[in-house]
Structure 1
Amino acid sequence: MPKHEGTGGPGDELEALDIAQAGPEDAAEMVAVMHAAFAARGPVDPPPAALAETPATIAEAVRRGGGVLARIGAEPAGVVVLVPAGEGEVTLTRVSVHPRFQHHGIAAQMIAAAHDVAARAGFVRARLLVRREFPELARRWARHGYRIDEQTAEGGIWVRDLPVAVGVPTAEAMTELGRRLASLLRGGDVLIATGDLGAGKTTLVQGIGAGLGVEEEVISPTFVLSRVHRTGPGTPDLVHVDAYRLGSAAEVDDLDLDASLAGSVTVIEWGRGVAEQLADERLELDLLVEPGGGRTVLIDPVGRRWDRAELRELARALAHV
């Protein structure tokens, strides 16, 4: 998988953060993080099974389901292990951050990376156990889109639908994905597109614009920050925002996007972490560059507005174009 790297910013001590898909060769480092993290928690009965893990058991688990490993520079800092649970489900387990690196947001970025790995492996739903002894963890998982599914003797089983993974081999396919997405959009929809430079964010927006009926050229509004593209009667306008130079949600609010939000489709490039407050219901799009040059787009619908089955059908249809 493409690596998830820290944003770096002035004074950000985590600018050396690197999160990548783990392999069996990483098992010893992963076990060291798990043991340190779980030993630092309060006592529980029964003791956490993570303390009994060995490099051999974790290497086998990673071979079967995968995982992610976070590093700060060369030091292992955090771990997630994925265990197939059948019927398209995967269990997130051994989620841990080394005590030296806790309270810096590493867990949130690892969880997002784990969702990416699982979605691209074909899983459609994630699940995990929140032990009764740690109710504060339930609040954290709820912020990541999880909901309680059932109660067990040890605690609650929480579940979350995973992003829809769409393979996009060419720029033309990225444009076509945008066109097809446009057919599902209506006024008030907000899309947040994230990806490295050159990943295809603007190409995707060009496809959305074409699908909505925008006739003028759609280019990245890097220096003007936002641009409104008019469409025909009965079709929402396209508001295209580039948040690359914006450092906070407050700066996004200063753009006064609320004035056009209800009647437009708003697409925000580089919006992760600064634009989510614009809409409780939104599409989050993560554009990943593959080693062979193609792209994978992970479509993560947030809120009841979106029909995941419809998005999965879109992905299947695009695969046959």
Structure 2
Amino acid sequence: MVSSHALDVSEAGPEHAETIADIIRRSFAARPVLDPPSTATDETAESVRASLEDAGGLLVERRGRPMGALLFDESRPNLLGLRRVAVDPDIQSRGVASAMVGVAEDTAEERGKDGIWLHVRSELPDTVRFWERRKYVRVAGQGDATLLEFGKTLWLARETHTPADTQALAGRLATLLRPGDLLVLSGDLGAGKTTFTQGLADGLGVRGPITSPTFVIARTHPSLADGPPLVHVDAYRLGSAGELDDLDLDASVADSVTVVEWGQGLAEQLAPDRLHIHLERRHARPGDPLGTRDPLGVAAGEADDLAESRVITVRSYGARWLGAPLRSTLLGPTEG
């Protein structure tokens, strides 16, 4: 059970079927009349129980009073669906739906999913905006586009312990890349951005060597096979997005895999669909006694072993990565 601002959000079982069915029916009945009408008001304790037995769901309570619920759907590989997202129409409290969504995303991670999907009626603009504010992206319309599909790819963080590990992780990512992909790399000096790019280049099979392009600003590495070229950009010395625009990268982005080091706040203009990859070095705090751990859980006595350790965070933006096996590909073993 997760408590959020006095809201208790817990995984629901078949024993909660009657309560959840009541919330769903009353919540959807209070919405504007839709054409065609929603089938949610036809839910019964039996139909909800079957859904809970199949994939589970969530129930939100405050001081024992049911306030919201949703049902999970595991019919799609590596994705968690959200159905019948409902809030009791008699309550005035805010935050119930947001609390459910946060716990649903945690549940998707715990179940090893890559992302989340759901359907939203286009006639409910407030509902559409709710999901858009939470970084859900429209996938497609169905039929007459009254039923919209939204999705979200879950972010991930992975620790590597050596430069070879970092390159291996990047090599895994390279298996998912295609022409038009943009990767924005950030991190302090020495965090491993160029090392990561070397792993990408090896995975893509492009001509090397891959070195920091700081003074050249941008280099193009053609494919040695039939894959896309790699455009490697270092924006460290660029002062504005306008200076990046002067490089005329727009002409090559659609046909290449483009990696921009130090690109955060500058390179986003190149493509709405992109990956942001942040690399951070791990260090034990100097002077900590053996066995004392820093906020990342590192014992001071392990400092020497962490000289090359990195935490690499990957976040996706745009519809390109919806449904892509990003987490399942990158969270496997990387050590050789």
> Scaled by the length of structure 1, what TM-score is found?
0.54
2:315 matched to 1:301? yes
Q: Secondary structure at the match of 1:126?
A: strand
Alignment correspondent of 2:152 = 160
Alignment correspondent of 2:32 = 42
Q: CA deviation at 1:100?
A: 2.7
| 1:130 maps to which of 113, 116, 120 | 120
Q: CA deviation at 1:177?
A: 4.6
Q: Larger Cα Rg: Structure 1 or Structure 2?
A: 2
One-letter identity of the residue aligned with 2:154: L
Instruction: Return closer, same or farther for 1:156/1:105 CA change in 2, 3 Å cut-off.
Output: same
For residues 246-303 of structure 1, what are the alpha-carbon distances to aligned partners after superposition, in whole Å with 9 as ceiling and x for unaligned?
A: xxxxxxxxxxxxxxxxxxx9x9xxxxxxxxxxxxxx95xxxxxxxxxxxxxxxx8365
| 2:8 maps to which of 15, 18, 30 | 18
Q: Secondary structure at the match of 2:106?
A: helix
Q: Following superposition of structure 1 onto structure 2, how do residues 1-321 of structure 1 map, counting pairs within 5 Å? A: 3-7=1-5, 15=6, 17-152=7-142, 153=144, 154-164=146-156, 177=159, 186-187=186-187, 212-214=282-284, 216=286, 217=288, 219=294, 301=315, 303=317, 312-317=328-333
Count of paired positions: 210
Alpha-carbon distance between aligned partners in 2 of 1:127 and 1:64, rounded to the nearest angstrom:
17
Alpha-carbon distance between aligned partners in 1 of 2:63 and 2:86, rounded to the nearest angstrom:
18
Alpha-carbon distance between aligned partners in 2 of 1:129 and 1:4, rounded to the nearest angstrom:
25
One-letter identity of the residue aligned with 2:3: E
Q: Secondary structure at the match of 1:85?
A: coil
For residues 183-211 of structure 1, what are the alpha-carbon distances to aligned partners after superposition, in whole Å with 9 as ceiling and x for unaligned?
A: 5885269xxxxxxxxxxxxxxxxxx98x5
Q: CA deviation at 1:112?
A: 1.2
Alpha-carbon distance between aligned partners in 2 of 1:147 and 1:312, rounded to the nearest angstrom:
20
Q: Contact (CA 8 Å) 1:124, 1:162: kept in 2 or not?
A: yes
Alpha-carbon distance between aligned partners in 1 of 2:188 and 2:42, rounded to the nearest angstrom:
50
Q: Secondary structure at the match of 1:86?
A: coil
Q: Contact (CA 8 Å) 2:78, 2:325: kept in 1 or not?
A: no
Alignment correspondent of 1:10 = none
Q: Contact (CA 8 Å) 2:24, 2:87: kept in 1 or not?
A: yes
Alpha-carbon distance between aligned partners in 2 of 1:111 and 1:94, rounded to the nearest angstrom:
12
Q: Contact (CA 8 Å) 1:5, 1:18: kept in 2 or not?
A: yes
For residues 44-85 of structure 1, what are the alpha-carbon distances to aligned partners after superposition, in whole Å with 9 as ceiling and x for unaligned?
A: 122211100001101111111111110111111101111123
Alpha-carbon distance between aligned partners in 2 of 1:163 and 1:63, rounded to the nearest angstrom:
28
> Scaled by the length of structure 2, what TM-score is found?
0.52
Q: Secondary structure at the match of 1:99?
A: coil
Higher mean C-alpha deviation, range 120-129 or range 66-75: 120-129
Alpha-carbon distance between aligned partners in 1 of 2:129 and 2:188, rounded to the nearest angstrom:
28
Identity percentage of aligned residues: 24
Q: Contact (CA 8 Å) 1:67, 1:117: kept in 2 or not?
A: no
Q: CA deviation at 1:22?
A: 0.7
One-letter identity of the residue aligned with 1:5: S
Alpha-carbon distance between aligned partners in 2 of 1:98 and 1:62, rounded to the nearest angstrom:
19
One-letter identity of the residue aligned with 2:108: A
Q: CA RMSD in A?
A: 4.0
One-letter identity of the residue aligned with 2:315: P
Q: Secondary structure at the match of 2:66?
A: strand
Q: Contact (CA 8 Å) 2:155, 2:327: kept in 1 or not?
A: no
Instruction: Return closer, same or farther for 1:75/1:178 CA change in 2, 3 Å cut-off.
Output: farther
Alpha-carbon distance between aligned partners in 2 of 1:107 and 1:302, rounded to the nearest angstrom:
23
Alpha-carbon distance between aligned partners in 1 of 2:54 and 2:86, rounded to the nearest angstrom:
19
